Structure 1
Amino acid sequence: MFEIFLAGGILMWPILACSLIVIAISAERYWTLNPAKIAPKTLLAQVWSWIKNNQLDASKLRELKQSSPLGQILAAGLSNSKHGREVMKDSVQEAASQVIHELERYVNILGTIANIAPLLGLLGTVFGMIQVFNSIMVQGTGNTGVLAGGISVALYTTAAGLIVAIPAMIAHRFFQRRIDSIVVTMEEEAIKLVDALHSDRRVDVKLV
């Protein structure tokens, strides 16, 4: 395997670097993008309990903000709830934008690598084929074994680029779908809180 890696040429090294980046980002995002930690199911019920029992104060807001990304959004809305529905919604949306930006951190890099890795592989193959044709010019076409071996070596980088790009694309789409699902959940929870505080239609929040 190491011999194949070396035979692929110098462009195998950036492809290897891309593969390590994909592994590192995938592991980090899988650990970080945990729906149960980002948007706990019982958090809104806990907040509503504080409101009903008149326990919501500055210390509770700090605790809520530090508890999770959803808590950060809800705390932003509650901090401005006395200024009306629209101000509260704007505060929620501003906090949500910051949270979503954090959730999407590094994910776009996976998409970039998925696009770059095959191009690096193709470039390595082009360089390899140039070397093969140079050999033809020097040695002629009589030694077919050398030519076949040279062509196979030239294709190593293309294969390596695809091996890196395919998992990178899968990981990118997986994490993007997970982020979209988390964002929808947080949006629903924030809307429930806004409607509960600023609407004639009271929203029932189940206390667990």
Structure 2
Amino acid sequence: MTLFLAQVTDTATKLIDTAKQTTTQLATAPADDLHFGDLLIKGGWVMIPIGILAVLGLVIFFERYFTIRKASKDESQLMVQVRSSIMSGNLESAVAVCRNSNSPLGRMLQKGLLRIGRPIKDIEGAIENVGKLEVSKLEKNIGILGIVAGIAPMFGFLGTIAGVIKIFYDISKTDNISMGVISGGLYVKMVTSAAGLFVGIIAYVCYHVLNMMVDKVILKLETDAIEFIDLLEEPSK
């Protein structure tokens, strides 16, 4: 009986010592938590152009967004005032209203009003030319977002490939083919691919959002221009 108790005590003592050693090892082990900022820094020099593309894309998007949104405001009151002035024969008042509106539609109608007295085709042509100019102003720099959406992922893949090349170069110099060396360097370099794809996706979405907004403005301008031409043709019917 005494021998059995001694064996149990010895086993318990060994288990306690093992637990203490495990606890000490866990306490002194380095933390393996991934921090977003550290990953960005470890991405290397390729993260710099990707970051520049991200900032450029955001600046263009917000600048164009507010510009297009301003151009798409409701101009129904402007059309009412222009119609009222034309019906009363006061063209100077209609021109002044269009000039003061400071909007794409206002500039289109102003050009048409200044052509009154000429054939309808000439008036339509003048309005169409101004409309094209206004649309080109709205579309300014939107194409850059498309470029960002295309080249940002390429920069990301370039960073990953450069990282893989460096990993195999280090292996050839040190003759160390351990999985830790390969996977450790590779996951860091793949951060560039993730960053490039993220920037590319955001730029792609922003590009199409702005294009849809411009299309809505174009449709509205065309509708109002047709209404204006119909208004000019009413007295001659």
Superposed pair shares fold, TM > 0.5:
yes
Which deviates the most, 179-188 or 61-70? Answer: 61-70
- 1:6-57 residue CA offsets vs partner (Å, 9 max, x unmatched): 2111111010011111111121122111166555232212110111123321
How far, CA to CA, are the matches of 1:107 and 1:66 in structure 2? 28
Aligned pair partner of 1:120 in 134, 155, 171 = 155
Instruction: Tell me, yes or no, if the aligned pair for 1:35 and 1:182 is still in contact at 8 Å.
Output: no
1:171 aligns with 2:206: yes
1:95 aligns with 2:141: no
Q: 1:153 to 1:201 in 2, by over 3 A?
A: farther
Instruction: Tell me, yes or no, if the aligned pair for 1:8 and 1:153 is still in contact at 8 Å.
Output: yes
Aligned pair partner of 1:73 in 97, 108, 131 = 108
Q: Across the two proteins, how many residue pairs are aligned to each other?
A: 201
SS in 1 for 2:91: coil
Q: TM-score, normalised by structure 2?
A: 0.79
Runs of 5+ in structure 1 lacking a partner?
203-208
SS in 1 for 2:61: helix
Cross-structure match for 1:2: 37
CA shift at 1:63, angstroms? 4.3
How far, CA to CA, are the matches of 1:105 and 1:6 in structure 2? 34
User: What is the 5 A alignment of 1:1-208?
Assistant: 1-34=36-69, 38=73, 40-57=75-92, 60-67=94-101, 68-198=103-233
How far, CA to CA, are the matches of 2:236 and 2:43 in structure 1? 66
Off by >6 Å, runs of 4+ in structure 1:
none
Which deviates the most, 24-33 or 115-124? Answer: 24-33
1:78 aligned partner, one-letter code:
L
Runs of 5+ in structure 2 lacking a partner?
1-35
Instruction: Tell me, yes or no, if the aligned pair for 1:81 and 1:88 is still in contact at 8 Å.
Output: yes
Could you tell me the percent identity over the aligned residues?
31
Instruction: Tell me, yes or no, if the aligned pair for 2:91 and 2:113 is still in contact at 8 Å.
Output: no
Which protein shows a greater Rg?
A: 2
Instruction: Tell me, yes or no, if the aligned pair for 1:65 and 1:74 is still in contact at 8 Å.
Output: no
1:20 aligned partner, one-letter code:
V
CA shift at 1:177, angstroms? 0.7
CA shift at 1:178, angstroms? 0.8
How far, CA to CA, are the matches of 2:222 and 2:155 in structure 1? 40
CA RMSD of aligned residues (A): 1.9
1:46 aligned partner, one-letter code:
Q
How far, CA to CA, are the matches of 1:66 and 1:119 in structure 2? 47
Structure of greater relative contact order (alpha carbons < 8 Å, 6+ residues apart):
1
SS in 1 for 2:208: helix
CA shift at 1:142, angstroms? 3.3
SS in 2 for 1:165: helix
